[in-house]
Chain A
């Protein structure tokens, strides 16, 4: 009895077990919410060791995919994280414009599920009339079916923290390096410098 005490404490409550059960279909038009328990594993375990509780598999630690709401939600939930800080956490906004590699992409509630790679550029979060702008150095944006948008960036700064002089100086240096570059790698690095400084310039002066 006491052997199982620890397992009972860790086991999810019966309500969430019920929700995780594969036979319940919440919104049958959408894909099935996957069950947490690996049925085949549990069955074969019971055959081999009927007296021991089956160990949990990595699958059982995963949260099932949240169901897609049938009506388009009114607001977008944004999570914007950096390696060292969470910039925006679970904020409900009207629209986010992300700098995807193939252009600025506007994300509204009900946007199709997308994974977008970000290029150095402007990220703007629109809430009512206020717009918060960040310059993002690169990263990814994951737009989920339930209108939750996760944006991960390596470096992102509010645009008023950028120094125009340093940008122009850096631009001049990078162009010089590009002209003087010999190996492919040097050329690539210089080209990256030119691209990023260009993007910074456009974002600051284009306002």
Chain B
């Protein structure tokens, strides 16, 4: 076990394996040829809505659409 052994550079920079893995996948998707790249965009796009609350009052909902 690498409890005292070499730590990966991303782990020592504070990144989790999940984040590292997703960054790698995003990079690969960015390098695809055209029809496959748009398929990847439609497949991986995430939609979500965030709403800021302040002093108990609901603000305006903001919809995000992210492909990463």
Contact = CB atoms under 8 A, between A and B. Distances in A.
**Main SS of the interface on chain B?**
helix
Interface of B: 9-10, 12-15, 20-25, 27-34, 36-37, 43
Interface stretch (A25-33, A38-46, A72-80, A156-164): A156-164
Interface in A156-204: 157, 161-163, 166-167, 170, 184-185, 187-189, 191-193, 196-197, 200
Contacts, number: 73
A27 to B, nearest CB: 31
Interface in A115-169: 120, 135, 137-139, 154-155, 157, 161-163, 166-167
Contacts of B32: 157, 161-163, 166
A138 B23 CA distance: 10
B27 A193 contact: yes
B27 A197 contact: yes
Interface residues of A, number: 26
A84 interface: yes
A155 B28 contact: yes
Q: Which of B12, B25, B27, B34 has the most chain A CB within a 10 Å cutoff?
A: B27
B10 A192 contact: yes
A193 B33 CA distance: 18
15 contacts: A120-B24, A137-B24, A137-B25, A138-B24, A155-B24, A155-B25, A161-B33, A163-B31, A163-B32, A170-B31, A184-B14, A185-B15, A189-B23, A192-B24, A196-B24
